[in-house]
Amino acid sequence: MPKVLVAEDSEINQKLIAHLLRRLGADFLVVDDGLKAVTEVLQTKYDFVFMDVIMPIKNGLDATREIIAALSPAQRPVIIALTANTEESDQAACRAAGMRGFLRKPMQLEDIKRIFDYFMPVA
């Protein structure tokens, strides 16, 4: 199963996504701001980062840009936006920052599974 970093400042959303990731058997860590996410990704190899877009200290867009700038394509995790904002302009901003997909809040088990299956298909 994939190794996942979750960057999410809402305690309720942290608990929900942790529950869902446990059900999927994922190895994961949760941090509560974008700065911690950047620090963690630069220290540890992750397959995925589920990145909240709006967080204190460093928002998800800035954190994503920093990760993209710091790591080569082969070293980068797949960064997925966690957002309740689903307008096309919000999605465009996420793509421009380097995010490769979207998880709409509240997260659903099938949505996470679909992302895993798409980016890590079984050989």
What single DSSP character describes residue 76?
P
Contacts of 112 (CB under 8 A, 6+ apart): 17, 20, 21, 24, 103
Instruction: Say what the pTM is.
Output: 0.94
Predicted local distance difference test score (pLDDT) of residue 72: 95
pLDDT tens per residue, range 60-101: 999 999 999 999 999 999 999 998 877 777 889 999 999 999
Q: Rounded to an integer, what distance in angstroms lies between the CA atom of residue 108 and that of residue 71?
A: 30
Q: Locate tokens 């689903």: which residue?
A: 86
Peptide bond into 106 cis (omega under 30): yes
Average pLDDT taken over every residue of the chain: 93
Predicted local distance difference test score (pLDDT) of residue 40: 97
Residue pair 51/63 in contact (Cβ under 8 Å)? The answer is yes
Q: Is it the case that residue 123 has pLDDT exceeding 60?
A: no
What integer is the mean pLDDT of 44-57?
Answer: 95
Predicted local distance difference test score (pLDDT) of residue 122: 60
- Beta bridge pairs of residue 74: none
In this prediction, residue 53 has a pLDDT band, given cuts at 50, 70 and 90, of: very high
Domains and CATH numbers, the chain: 3-119 (3.40.50.2300)
Which run of H or of E encompasses 113?
A: helix 109-119
55 φ, ψ (degrees, to nearest 5): -140, 160
Q: Is it the case that residue 21 has pLDDT exceeding 90?
A: yes
